[in-house]
């Protein structure tokens, strides 16, 4: 039985316009099906079957498409953002009643083929309130923002990365609900702020993954992810 996962799927996806003027980013076509379906299938293969979608912009379209997730062998529930938008951290804080004591967090534009069971095991064994997965990126696919050495995160800075930040926040986190304590369900804040607070208090574990990430947050990333998933479908068929 794996941890539940919160998928952050409420953003406006302005970088993908005009594609996302009529549909949310999660429903953008990738290799013949909505991107979120690829995410559900990937999670099911890793035995992650309890999924809470944190939706906002055109979120009703996502619920109409996926319903309860039974077609893909998963359970899907929905928590809607409201006016004003709460940010990634605020959206998770609002969803805590659906997520329980411990859970994964995944971005709605990320396709992450890592070992979810290993991440969960490392998180639970750490005894910390949060875990960040990191990948040795060296500024290849995006700007690196994490200094990681000897299994520990030493620095995390998305705005002012230093020369030592060879790693990047991979996009899969794990948290105890207490990591979001001290904030109300209507507070607006970013998930990066939670990571920073945990790091300051030595309450953030790090876990290195070795499978590169794919994302559809930008036109270039979308094209690359389409090619990657199309190739995977061809190799399976």
pLDDT, tens digit, 9 for 90 and up, residues 172-216: 999 999 999 888 777 889 999 999 999 999 999 999 999 999 999
CA gap 236, 229 in Å, rounded:
11
pTM metric for this prediction:
0.93
Percent of the chain scoring above 70 in pLDDT: 97
Domain ranges of the chain: 5-236
CA gap 7, 170 in Å, rounded:
14
CATH number listed for the domain at residues 5-236: 3.90.550.10
> Which residue is associated with the tokens 């912009």?
57
Asked if 9 contacts 204 with a C-beta cutoff of 8 angstroms, the reply is: no
């Amino acid at each position: 039985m794996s941890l539940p996962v919160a998928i952050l799927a409420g953003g406006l996806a302005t970088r993908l316009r005009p594609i996302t003027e009529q549909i949310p980013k999660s429903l953008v076509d990738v290799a013949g099906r909505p991107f979120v379906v690829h995410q559900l299938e990937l999670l099911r293969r890793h035995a992650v079957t309890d999924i809470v979608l944190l939706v906002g912009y055109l979120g009703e379209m996502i619920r109409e498409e996926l319903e309860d997730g039974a077609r893909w062998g998963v359970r899907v529930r929905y928590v809607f953002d409201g006016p004003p938008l709460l940010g990634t951290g605020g959206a998770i804080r609002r969803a805590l009643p659906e997520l329980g004591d411990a859970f994964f967090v995944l971005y709605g534009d990320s396709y992450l083929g890592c070992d979810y069971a290993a991440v969960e095991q490392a998180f639970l064994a750490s005894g910390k309130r949060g875990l960040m997965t990191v990948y040795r990126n060296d500024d290849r696919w995006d700007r690196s923002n994490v200094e990681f050495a000897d299994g520990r995160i030493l620095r995390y800075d998305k705005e002012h990365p230093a020369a030592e930040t060879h790693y990047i926040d991979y996009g899969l986190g794990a948290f105890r609900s207490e990591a979001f304590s001290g904030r109300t369900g209507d507070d607006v804040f970013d998930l990066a702020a939670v990571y920073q607070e945990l790091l300051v208090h030595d309450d953030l574990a790090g876990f290195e993954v070795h499978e590169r990430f794919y994302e559809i947050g930008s036109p270039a990333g979308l094209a690359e992810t389409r090619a990657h998933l199309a190739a995977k479908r061809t190799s399976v068929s």
